[in-house]
Structures are given as structure tokens and as C-alpha cells.
Amino acid sequence: MACTLNFYGHFALGLEIDGLFVLVDPFFTGNPAATNSAADFDQVDYILVTHGHGDHVGDTVELAKRTGATVIANFEVCNWLQSQGVEKVHAQHIGGAHDHAFGNLKLTIAHHGSSMPDGSYGGNPAGLLIKAKTGEKLYVSGDTGLFYDMTLIGEVGLDLAVIPIGDNFTMGPDDALRAVKFLKPKTVVPAHFGTWPIIDADAESWAARVEKQTETKVAVMKAGDSLVV
Ligand code: NI
Ligand code: MN
């Protein structure tokens, strides 16, 4: 079996897993990189939110209310979403895993911040380690700097990793290359770059470096691209 990753620009992703549709960090409104709008999505089963920043929470509140999707995030982000009228939330926290209909999800550490768009407390930022029901193992780091424990995350044998390369707010290209060496995924997708000038990065030259120095394949995705994992 296989699952499909859809890239919507910046760090917004869609996963198609065994007939279920899972959005990750659904930032469409105000996302200069997005070619979709939130209104394009009618059937959403789950929304995963890595942390509270606006470019990741994005359109979560509107999408969850309209589609009835269950939102999974850390406890503090879930509390805030409930205060905004989102009814179906599932709170987890760093190191905790849970079996959902799409597969097993564990929240991992991320070195970053997590304040909500209105400034309220958003707990600790997280990465997502997903063992899809279809068998693939995926790691979506969220916004983070490099950390050596990526080695532990990679021990599961990753089919895919999505990591930032845009620098300034997250890992830049050099640390993202080191991250690939720690994670050892079959395929890596660079994200969180090019959306604004401050996070510009040359993904093609980064891809060439990764493929020269590691066994990992790089999939540079544009908004609207899909990848069978
Ligand atoms: Ni952030
Ligand atoms: Mn971000």
C-alpha cells in the first residue's frame, strides 16, 4: 500500500492515507506560496498542528468547524482551539503516541516557539512521527533547529521526512543537511523556505548536496505537487 503527500506551499501538507485525508499545518489564507485556498477542502478527517504560530495554525479554526475534522495538537494548542469554537480536538504531548484511524502519531520535540496568533500560550512546539495505517513511516519536523535526537527519530526507518531549510526561524540548509544525516530517510522534502525573502533558500543546490553526501533522495515540491510515499 502507499500513502500520498500533497504539498500546498510553505509548510502546509495533505496526507491521503487509506481513504482518509489529513491536513498538516493548513496555512492558506495569507500564505504567499499557496495555490489553494481553505475553501478548496471539504472533506478533511484530521488536522495536525505542530505549534501555535500563525503560519502553521493557519486556517485550522475555519476548516475544523466547516469540515468537522478532528484537530490533533499539543494540549495548549487544543485548549486555544476549543476557545475559538473548535469542538473535536485530540490533545497529545511530546513523547506521547496514540493510534488514530490514519495510523499511529507520536509528538516529538522541536526547538522553536509556540505562541498562538493572539499571543496566548501555545505550549511547546512539536514534530510529528507518523506510522501510517498503510505502513509508511513519516516524520514532519515542524519548525525546529537541528537537534541530535533526530538520530533516535530516524531509528524507526523513515520512508519520508519533511524538514525546514529556510534558515532564520528554523534550520537553514547546512543544518538541514546534517538533519538528513541523522534521520536517514529514504526521501526528504525541504519546506519552510521561499515563502518570504527572509527565508529564501536554494532548494535545488541543497538537493544536490544531500544526494551527493547521503543515500537520501530529495523531492523538491512546489505548491500543488503530490508525491506517492
Ligand atoms: Ni513557527
Ligand atoms: Mn513557521
Question: Which ligand has the shortest distance to the CA of 199?
Answer: 2
Q: Is the pLDDT of residue 164 over 90?
A: yes
Strand order in the sheet with 4-7: 89-92, 70-74, 46-48, 20-24, 13-17, 4-7, 226-228
pLDDT band at 175 (very low <50, low <70, confident <90, very high): very high
**Residue 179's pLDDT is what?**
99
Mean pLDDT value across residues 60-64: 98
In the chain, the number of structural domains is 1
For residue 142, give the CATH number of its domain: 3.60.15.10
Mapping DSSP to helix (H, G, I), strand (E, B) and coil, where does residue 106 land? strand
Q: In 10 A of CB 140, how many CB atoms?
A: 24
pLDDT at 124: 98
**Which domain, by its residues, includes 135?**
4-220
Ligand closest to CA 51: 1
Average pLDDT on 90-96 reads 98
226 assigned to some structural domain? no
Give pTM, 2 decimals: 0.98
The pocket of ion ligand 2, defined by CB under 5 A, consists of: 55, 143
DSSP state of 111: S
36 domain-assigned:
yes
**Ligand 1 centre distance from Cα of residue 170 (Å):** 8
**129, part of any domain:** yes
Q: What is the DSSP string of 8-32?
A: -STT-EEEEETTEEEEES---TT-T
Tell whether the model's pLDDT for residue 150 goes beyond 80. Answer: yes
Q: What's residue 1's pLDDT?
A: 76
As a whole number, mean pLDDT of residues 125-140 equals 98
Give distance in angstroms: CA of 151 to centre of ligand 1.
22
